[in-house]
Amino acid sequence: MSSVSEPHPDRETGARADAATGSAVSSSGEAGRQANSTNSDSGRGSGRDLLHSDRTFDFSGPMQVWQGFGQDFKELTRRDRQFNFMIRAKDLELDVSHGPILYLEGLNVSFDGFKAINELNLYVNAGELRCVIGPNGAGKTTMMDIITGKTRPDSGSAFFGQKIDLLRLTEPEIAEVGIGRKFQKPTVFEHHSVFENLELAMAADKRVFPTLLARLTGKERDRIDEVLGIIGLQEQAQREASVLSHGQKQWLEIGMLLMQDPHLLLVDEPVAGMTHQEMERTAELLTSLAGKHTVVVVEHDMDFVRSIAKRVTVLHQGSVLAEGSMDEVQNDPRVIEVYLGE
Amino acid sequence: MGLLQPLKGDTGGKIMLAVLALIAVLVPILNLLVPEGNPLHVSTFTVTLLGKYLTYALLAVAVDLVWGYLGILSLGHGAFFALGGYAMGMYLMRQIGDRGVYGDPLLPDFMVFLDWQQLPWFWQGFDQFWYAALMILLVPGLLAFVFGWLAFRSRVTGVYLSIITQALTYALMLAFFRNEMGFGGNNGLTDFKDLLGFDLQSDGTRIGLFLASALALALGYWACRWIVTSKLGRVAVAVRDAESRVRFIGYRVDRVKLAIWTFSAVLAGVAGALYVPQVGIINPGEFSPLNSIELVVWVAIGGRATLYGAVIGAVLVNYGKTVFTGAFPEAWLFVLGGLFVLVTVFLPAGIAGLLKTLRRRRSEPTALKEKSA
Amino acid sequence: MSPMSRFVFGGSDPALAMALGFLLLLMTATGAADNQSTDPASSPTAEFSASPATETAVASDAAPQSEPEPGPESASEPAPAPATASKPGSESDLTAAFDERVSQLTDNSFKVKEAAAQAIAETGDARAIPLLKALLSGDLYYRKDDDRIVYVAPAGSSGWALTDALSGEALGEVGRRDVRKITVNNRMRSALRTSIAALTLASPDPALRLRAAREMVGSDDPAVISAVRTQLAAEDDQQVTEVLTLVVAIADLKQPDIDSRLAAIEVLHGNLYPQARNALNGLLETEQDPGVLAATKAALDAIDRKRQLNSSIETLFFGLSLGSVLVLAAIGLAITFGVMGVINMAHGELIMIGAYTTYLVQQAMPGLTDWSLLVAVPAAFLVSGAFGVAIERTVIRFLYGRPLETLLATFGISLILQQLVRTTISAQNVVVQNPSWMSGSLQLNPGLALTYNRLYILLFALIVFALLLLVLKRTALGLQVRAVSQNRAMARAMGVRSARVDALTFGLGAGIAGVAGVALSQLTNVGPNMGQAYIIDSFMVVVFGGVGNLWGTLVAGMTLGVANKLMEPWAGAVLAKILVLVFIILFIQKRPRGLFPQRGRAAAD
Amino acid sequence: MISIPSFKPLLLSAGIALGLTASLSGLAEDAAPTADQADDETIKVGVLHSLSGTMAISETTLKDTVLMLIEEQNEKGGVLGKQLEAVVVDPASDWPLFAEKARGLIEQEKVAAVFGCWTSVSRKSVLPVFEELNGLLFYPVQYEGEESSKNVFYTGAAPNQQAIPAVDYLKDELGVERWVLAGTDYVYPRTTNKILEAYLKQNGVAEEDIMINYTPFGHSDWQSIVADIKKFGSEGKKTAVVSTINGDANVPFYKELGNQGISAEDIPVIAFSVGEEELSGIDTGPLVGHLAAWNYFMSVPTDENDAFIETWHGFIDDPKRVTNDPMEAHKIGFDLWVQAVEKAGTTDTDAVENAIVGLTTSNLSGGTAKMLPNHHITKPVLIGEIQDDGQFAIVYQTEEEVPGDAWSDYLEGSKDLIGDWTDPINCGNYNIKTKKCLGSEQAATE
């Protein structure tokens, strides 16, 4: 809808095409991202160039836009072009050859005046388990919102692997490229059984008609049962999710996360409202996931963090205050000051 | 077996379909074979009445699909119903041919006395049934698609969505009232003669239309069940309950909505098309926002999110209307209004809900078994 | 459920009783009023209280009962002494002629009557003015048995007291069917006005003279013109002089000599009286002299420029007044729907109840139409408010958190209320009179007049809006309302009695709907369906403005009103409305939360 | 075929099915003690007027009128020695419902005749039903013409019994030269205005002196339109408005007229749909002198009329209620029907149809109404000026009754058509040029 009013260069199919075919011109999309990010609800759902071939052009100025347009035109007239709606997010291969799976650079977000995220730079390596801590309002959740496409930053960039520009994807697309999220407040589908909740979350072709025709294969059933085992809800499999306890809902949501089988898991306060042993099991689970997956955990509970964390990032007032092993961080005077300061 | 898959665990639906089947068998017999005067005789009046109810029921099912399972309260479904009706009406008008009062072979009467010289472009082709049939599906579908495409992409939800659907049907009503539009203005389309060569006034045709309505309802119901029992149906309910969450697990909510919404509109269109030849008139009044609201009421009374409930609601309310307007013409609005209030306050789950709880209370275990099946 | 329901009725009883009680009271009052109040044939002069100011004036000094013998002071011409039993010969001939003419008024043919009236006017007899005025206002009758021309005054319940129109002697009482009204038709009426004008042109009362002068604008009757010239010479009143000069100027356009034509054109330059424009246009056809032609064209251009300006001002005003109606209709909904999240389909009917209250109030205080509205506004607020509270207590309270269900319940309620009115009052529309101060229009210039009722309603809408804002922002109730609407549980925790607040809020919204009903009763029909005419538009306005935001409602209403009126000239009434609706649909795509988004219970989906 | 566990439901459903059909077919019989034997002691008369919805405002009065007439007749000993029994239903201003109710009345209730309908669309909606089931409808409202059905008797005015004489009056008596044709956008105003436009042009009125304007139903904001009329009327020539504005929209229209200071002397408005009933909802002070054309006014000074008003007030028990033209139409229609039944000696439709043509009864304005072969009646045309007491002062009346024209002579499509339901022609749209009936074959073969 918004494309009607603000014709972003990156909406031009040509621009998509050039990205899609991996040509060197990125600027149009880039500029589009800048402009686009100013209003948070704009242009969701509309396809954009999903690939970003060469990151050196990244902060190219508006000048590039016009070249972009020129390029667009050429692209439109190319015979071997491939339109963006032809490639789907899941077809994008994730390139982590340089190590990091998540690049957040120079991110800024402010909600009417208040700076929630302030020049945030954060890199997460593939397969690591990262804990993010910080006092309330440090911007932990907002950061996750940016990564999952819920909130658009005013400026900065967020890349998944080297090529996938998250700021140009919608929530579903981000989910498809392999980022799963568990919310702070557990949100499961109350009127569905536990089983169905997992089924819905399961990695699959999630377009409308495939979904309409989808039938559970044996393999998928096994997978669901397996996850049911992991989260220990076999007995409740057929109960409506609404009847679960808070802790169980937490588990269910983690289960849904597993079903998505994402490359990157964003886990927001997983152990809130859990008993002690539930907490331990969560800790085991998360650590076991690390390696095959990349896990980013946001948590207040220091004991829990200590029990799982190899590397800890401390956010404060929207930017990274300190980073390192739990011990390093805990002895960091600034961190102490911040936490005592409260 | 596979055909019955969608009806699994839907006792209400089965009963409803069984009733439908029985009526579909009984009524023609009682109407055609049992002689008049015999207490068992079902008059043609009753047949058309039943036929009308069935088309309403189909419409209600269409509404329940989007409201009950997708959480979209459409206050404009009457528009799709009416559009389907108009498409059929235009075909029937063309069938009149030179039997109109002015005996014009091409132009319908209302065009003759507004001295239109030739048939407007959008009336072309409606002399062919296949074309009309196509339009019955296409016109409501297309409108719904465009409207939904806009609304769902820009994430219009809740009352905002409801109100703009209302605006849609309201605008259409005003437009169709204009005589310049070429749809007969306030008088609409009427005085139909025959359909596919069958005289609309013969009992046989009426029975035929009645059976067609019954079949349409059965198929429509089955199709809706098929959708809601599919994974897509579960996604829809998920959207209803937690829209944004669905996005985060990778479904394109706007497209899910669009698909189901459009299908529902097409169903409504079909209902309208079957409605028109049975009541013998289509006029802009059908677009009136109040009609659309009323049909939401049917669904609510029958029981939201239980498709068979919609059927019950539609039939009961309209049956009530028929009885009350005849029995106590002065006071029937009190009764109807009171009914609406009482049901919403005391039966939040509608009649279907009531039945369910009764069944539950009688046999808890079976209920559980059904669920786990 | 059952203990709860007991609560309901316990809680609701007083509210209901109050509502119904008030209504009943009003109705009984009406019943009482009916017995002695207007019936179809009663004296028309009584009705005039409700007619526009101009009419009233004519009527009041036409009412013969008040001044059966107009003394010389009222008709200040060289008029002969009032007719008496014995009078000098010459005069008696005159009177004879006069009486003879008068007797012709009983004739059936309007042509004859018109001639007679003309003649009567020309006799210049002192009795002419009251007679003609009575004729004009339909107070002149004749007795069936002896065709005697009489004034009538209601006497007793059925009878009428007669006064001979000629001698002024009382003829005692008779039944209604014994006399017959002397009817006049349009053509006669305008003729009469001019003649009366001619007679009153010299009246000492400047107001009368002004009206007289206005009547003569555009007249080309030489007699009239000469009369005007003489009067103009003597005239001292500013306004009257202006009009008279205009009359003369228009006449002078036909003068043979160029200079006087030019002078006349000079006078008419940019004059907004349509007659002036027509006269000039006429001149364009006939005129030969280029100089005069040029002047005429210039004068006409000046006029048209002014007319342009006028019509754009007019359009704006129309837009705003339509907007104010929309705002009035919607503002109550902005509370019940916007703030409380109740999709209140009965809103229209609450408006209707307000309008009916106005009607009942007017019935209860016959003859005091001018004051009735001042009583009606609070009354309507109370009655509709009471209904609102009753509805909230008995139905809505069970439906919080189920906004969509409120739609269904209130829809049912709306049906009930409609039928209630049909059965208790009547299925027909009822008459709501316009107080004189709300009739007629404010003449800004001869080409531009703003109707009073629209003006007042525009004003009224703004006042209501301001008051409402005040209530919500400044009062404790307002605070609690906003608290509950934002977070019911929290508000409860802080000791807000949410049940009470809900009832009051809904009552407030309903009451305002009632007040809107009072205003609407002045513009359109008051009938059982009037509510349905506004409900849809109201929702459009609230949603367009942004649910839960009063300012949004105001801006939205006004915008839609003006937009509608701007489009109407070229699109026509229907298309304009359709376009507005389409615009709303598209706008919501762009701003899915309306003009001024705000988080309210309804906004949260 | 339905999976086994739900067998009980099957029985249940059978029950429901039977119940539903039974109750539906039994519907009518419940409403009235079994049709057949009812025929023996009473004759049923259907009343098909909206008692709720938008049209209730006008139609409830007509329902009461019919009830009054029936009561009167029964006091006189009924018809054919049987008492009349009214069957009242509420089609609720819902056009499809009109058709449904009509079918119910004829098929289930077996009524001998139906008195009902107001709007054109309701008539159009029931027309096929009456023709199919061969019922009798008496339609009491002035309408657009262009119709003549075997089964319908049009006791209201056809355009030539209202519009044309009214325009003549304005032309000749008031010297009107410019015309505003303002109407609600539906078939009656459209047709009437087309006829008038043609008629005016024939009388040498120039294109630019005619302004035509259509507004939607219940239009409530007349500011701009009235302003336009005012401008149109201030161009020097005497201007009049011919209003075919429908019911509800009139109140705001007249209020706006009054407030914008358009008096009857400046720009008279002559209305075809505004009668006493409508005026009773308006404060008529500002409207004095505006006109209406009808075939009856409450103020008609005849003894029949006084008697009628008296009975009406007695029946409705409210001395303030007015009478109006459609009420008279129903009275005439009812009288003619009663006569026809007595003459035919039966209530059988065809017999009554044959009997009724040519019958006469006295109307309330001192003349006689005759049922013509085209199922329309003869009516006097009256023109009245609104008085401040909501009544009309009659300022013009045609010397003798005008016969109703089913087909207008001023419309291309219909100027050669006539309706004649007597042998040998016996059809509704007989073309006097081609000498045969057009269209609907049931008319031709009848």
The domain locations on chain C are 47-190, 315-597
Q: How far apart are CA B88 and CA C411, in angstroms?
A: 31
pLDDT per residue as tens digits for the range C65-86: 433 344 334 333 443 434 444 4
The answer to whether residue D190 sits within a structural domain is yes
Whether residues D52 and D82 fall in one domain: yes
Which residues of chain D does B325 touch, with a Cβ-Cβ cutoff of 8 Å?
Answer: 89-92, 97, 101
Which residues of chain B does D21 touch, with a Cβ-Cβ cutoff of 8 Å?
Answer: 23, 26-27, 30, 42, 46, 50
Neighbouring subunits of B (3+ Cβ pairs under 8 A): A, C, D
Cβ neighbors of D160 (< 8 A, separation 6 or more) are: D145, D402, D404, D405, D408, D409
Band of the pLDDT at C494, cuts 50, 70, 90?
confident
pLDDT per residue as tens digits for the range D336-377: 999 999 999 899 999 999 999 999 999 898 889 999 999 999
> Coil, helix or strand for C146?
coil
The answer to whether residue D246 sits within a structural domain is yes
The answer to whether residue D126 sits within a structural domain is yes
Per-window interface: B 281-310 vs D, CB < 8 A: 281, 283, 285
- Chain B contacts to A (CB-CB under 8 A): 150, 153-155, 227, 230-232, 234-235, 237-238, 241-242, 244-256, 259, 371-372
* B43 interfacial to chain D (CB closer than 8 Å): yes
The answer to whether residue D430 sits within a structural domain is no
The answer to whether residue D15 sits within a structural domain is yes
Spell out the domain ranges in chain B: 5-372
CA distance A292 to chain B (A): 20
Is the pLDDT assigned to residue C468 strictly greater than 70? yes
The one-letter amino acid at A154: D
D436-437 and D427-431 beta bridge pairing: antiparallel
Q: How far apart are CA C226 and CA C216, in angstroms?
A: 12
Which residues of chain B does D96 touch, with a Cβ-Cβ cutoff of 8 Å?
Answer: 52, 279-281
Asked if the Cβ–Cβ distance from B332 to D90 is below 8 Å, we say: yes
- Reported in sequence order, the residue ranges of D131-255 that DSSP labels E, i.e. its strands, are 137-139, 152-154, 178-184, 210-215, 239-244
Whether residues D89 and D134 fall in one domain: yes
Structure tokens at A256: 């849904």
- At D264, which CATH number? 3.40.50.2300
- D239, D265 Cβ separation under 8 angstroms: no
What pLDDT was estimated at residue A73?
Answer: 53
Whether residues D264 and D318 fall in one domain: no
* A3 interfacial to chain C (CB closer than 8 Å): no
Whether residues D334 and D272 fall in one domain: no
Average pLDDT over residues C187-198: 78
Whether residues D387 and D246 fall in one domain: yes
Which residues of chain B does A178 touch, with a Cβ-Cβ cutoff of 8 Å?
Answer: none
Neighbouring subunits of D (3+ Cβ pairs under 8 A): B, C
**H helical segments located in C334-450:** 347-364, 369-394, 403-424
The answer to whether residue D432 sits within a structural domain is no
What pLDDT was estimated at residue C23?
Answer: 41
Smallest Cβ distance to B151: which of C404, C536, C589?
C589
Smallest Cβ distance to C187: which of D61, D173, D220?
D173
Which of C574, B82, C38, A188 is CA-nearest to residue D284? C38
What pLDDT was estimated at residue D235?
Answer: 82
* Structural domain boundaries, residue D219: 160-300+382-403
CA-based max dimension of chain A: 64
* C423 interfacial to chain B (CB closer than 8 Å): yes
* B317 interfacial to chain D (CB closer than 8 Å): no
Q: How far apart are CA D390 and CA D393, in angstroms?
A: 10
Which of B160, B245, B248 to mutate against chain A (most A CBs within 10 Å)?
B248
Phi then psi for B333, rounded to 5 degrees? Answer: -65, -35
The answer to whether residue D189 sits within a structural domain is yes
- C459, C442 Cβ separation under 8 angstroms: no
Band of the pLDDT at D444, cuts 50, 70, 90?
very low
- D148, D163 Cβ separation under 8 angstroms: no
CA-based max dimension of chain C: 100
Direct distance between the N- and C-terminal alpha carbons of chain D, in angstroms, rounded to an integer: 51
CA distance D173 to chain B (A): 31
Which CATH number applies to C315-597: 1.10.1060, 1.10.3470, 1.20.1060, 2.70.50?
A: 1.10.3470
Which of A241, A176, A226, A182 is CA-nearest to residue A204? A176
DSSP D328: H
The answer to whether residue D335 sits within a structural domain is yes
Whether residues D248 and D389 fall in one domain: yes
DSSP D239: E
Structure tokens at A168: 């140009």
Mean pLDDT of chain C: 76
DSSP D24: H
Q: How far apart are CA B72 and CA A340, in angstroms?
A: 50
D239-244 and D178-184 beta bridge pairing: parallel
CA distance B82 to chain C (A): 18
CA D360 from centroid of its chain's CA atoms: 19
What pLDDT was estimated at residue A246?
Answer: 81
CA distance C284 to chain B (A): 39
Is the pLDDT assigned to residue D20 strictly greater than 70? no
pLDDT per residue as tens digits for the range D167-198: 998 988 888 899 999 998 888 888 889 889 98
Q: How far apart are CA D92 and CA D238, in angstroms?
A: 43
Domains in chain D: how many in total?
2
Which of C583, C585, C588, C590 to mutate against chain A (most A CBs within 10 Å)?
C590
**H helical segments located in D76-177:** 95-103, 120-133, 163-174
Whether residues D194 and D147 fall in one domain: no
CA B136 from centroid of its chain's CA atoms: 13
- C80, C123 Cβ separation under 8 angstroms: no
DSSP characters over B235-261: HHHHHHH-HHHHHHTT--HHHHHHHHH
Whether residues D294 and D316 fall in one domain: no
Q: How far apart are CA A230 and CA A258, in angstroms?
A: 10
Q: List chain B pLDDT tens, one digit each, 373 residues.
A: 467 777 777 777 888 888 888 888 888 888 778 777 777 788 888 888 899 999 999 999 999 999 999 989 899 999 999 999 999 999 998 888 778 777 777 888 888 877 788 888 888 888 889 999 999 999 999 999 999 999 998 888 888 888 899 999 999 999 998 888 888 888 888 888 888 888 888 888 888 999 999 999 999 999 999 999 888 988 999 888 888 888 888 888 889 999 999 999 999 999 999 999 998 889 898 998 888 988 898 898 888 888 888 999 999 889 888 888 777 777 888 888 898 888 888 888 888 888 888 877 776 554 444 444 3
**H helical segments located in B154-202:** 158-177
Average pLDDT over residues C191-200: 77
Is the complex ipTM higher than 0.95? no
Q: How far apart are CA D183 and CA C285, in angstroms?
A: 34
Is the pLDDT assigned to residue A25 strictly greater than 80? no
Neighbouring subunits of A (3+ Cβ pairs under 8 A): B, C
What pLDDT was estimated at residue A48?
Answer: 36
Whether residues D261 and D247 fall in one domain: yes
Asked if the Cβ–Cβ distance from D190 to B98 is below 8 Å, we say: no
pTM of the model: 0.82
Whether residues D176 and D290 fall in one domain: yes
How many other C-beta atoms lie within 10 A of the C-beta of residue D168?
Answer: 16
> Coil, helix or strand for A38?
coil
Is the pair A, D in contact (3+ CB pairs within 8 Å)?
no
Pairwise pLDDT comparison (C499 vs C417), residue with the higher score: C417
Smallest Cβ distance to B250: which of A44, A172, A188?
A172
Whether residues D170 and D292 fall in one domain: yes
Q: How far apart are CA C82 and CA C130, in angstroms?
A: 12
Whether residues D396 and D314 fall in one domain: no
Average pLDDT over residues C257-275: 81
What pLDDT was estimated at residue B91?
Answer: 92
Average pLDDT over residues A53-76: 43
Band of the pLDDT at A9, cuts 50, 70, 90?
very low
Q: How far apart are CA B100 and CA D429, in angstroms?
A: 10
